[in-house]
Amino acid sequence: MLARFNQFIERWIFLVTPVCVILGVVFSDITIHGNVLVPYVFAVMTFIGALKSSFQDIVHVFRHPLPLLLSMVCIHIIMPVLAFGAGSLFFSDNINLITGMVLEFAVPSAVIALMWVTIYNGSSALSLSLVIVDTVLAPFLIPLTLRVIVGSRVQINTSSMIEELLFMIALPAVAAMCLNQFSKGKVKETWPPKLAPVSKICLMFIQICNSSKAAPYIRHMNRELLEVIFAILILAAFGYALGWIAAVLFKQDRKMTVSMMFGVGMRNISAGAVIASSYFPAEVVFPVITATLFQQVLAAVYGTLFHRIKKEAS
């Protein structure tokens, strides 16, 4: 039954995510109380997601690091700067919305990208390494990005943010890889399928709880917030294109191109929402939560487009 549940969620993830947001908004008076558990649930989800990875995967990719480095540059330099530029251009009088936009495109690559990479026959080694390296570095890269880009205009508790990110992301990921190392790969082969449904439940819980903080803004939608939604859609769509373009410009093969496209385009939105909820005003959460409405749909669109172009080219 759990296996069927997991397959159902993976198949309909592009619909499940918006439904979770709606539930969080409609029942915000109840779901907001779950936010205290979110960091712990997120740590569990990170641990389960990292069980598919090992130190050997990272070593293999580090021998040919160009695709990984290109992806990291796109994720942590180009996209946050573009988000800040777009936010400053259209919402110059609202630093909370600008901060939310930058935060959304400063978070690490999403574990769920591995599913799309598998569907479209990309490089699993690159995707696994990108997720793990990006996840382990997230406690330092996210506060650094926010400090450099918007730090002079907002109050950021950097040390506390780093501690929480280490707890939620870096330590569970390293623990999972160590477990794989000590078990000589046995855990990697047996645990992920059994725990995958638990990971999906954790993801849904986090999305529902995080949405509750953005409920007042979603319920009282205005023109500015609609413009934010449109801006996030354009930026999110460009993220996939950026990974694809970078791969083509640097002459990567098909597998690497697929992994870079999804790796750059798909972000760990749940991490961004947790950070926004914990360290910033509620308005910052809105741009981050908005991205959940588009990410899976855009992944399906780009995957289909890429497949058709490559099929026609061959």
Residues 191 and 51 sit within 8 Å (Cβ to Cβ): yes
Q: Look at residue 273 and give its three-state secondary structure.
A: helix
Residues 249 and 183 sit within 8 Å (Cβ to Cβ): no
Domain range spanning residue 290? 2-313
Q: What is the mean pLDDT of residues 55-73?
A: 86
pLDDT at 155 exceeding the cut of 80: no
Please provide residue 122's backbone torsions phi and psi, each rounded to the nearest 5 degrees.
-90, -170
Tens digit of each residue's pLDDT (9 = 90 or more) over 81-92: 999 999 999 999
pLDDT value, residue 247: 96
Weakest-pLDDT range from 80-84, 159-163, 310-314: 310-314
Nearest Cα to Cα of residue 101 among 230, 205, 219, 263? 230
Element (H, E) at 51: none
Q: Give ∠ CA 231-268-297 in degrees, rounded to 5.
A: 55
pLDDT value, residue 233: 95
pLDDT value, residue 173: 83
Please give the model's pTM, rounded to 2 decimal places.
0.82
Any idea what the CATH number is for the domain that residue 203 is in? 1.20.1530.20
**CA-CA distance, 28 to 11, in Å (whole number)?**
27
Query: What is the number of structural domains in the chain?
Result: 1
* Two structure tokens written together for 240: 């996939």
The sign of the dihedral angle between the CA atoms of 165, 167, 168, 174 is positive
The sign of the dihedral angle between the CA atoms of 165, 171, 174, 175 is negative
pLDDT at 153 exceeding the cut of 70: no
pLDDT value, residue 257: 95
pLDDT at 277 exceeding the cut of 80: yes
**CA-CA distance, 167 to 247, in Å (whole number)?**
33
Element (H, E) at 14: helix 13-26
pLDDT value, residue 314: 65
pLDDT value, residue 254: 92
Cβ contacts of residue 189 below 8 Å, gap of 6+? none
Residue with tokens 């061959």: 314
Q: What is the mean pLDDT of residues 221-238?
A: 93
Residue with tokens 């790969």: 185
**Read out DSSP for 28-47?**
HHHHGGGGGGHHHHHHHHHH
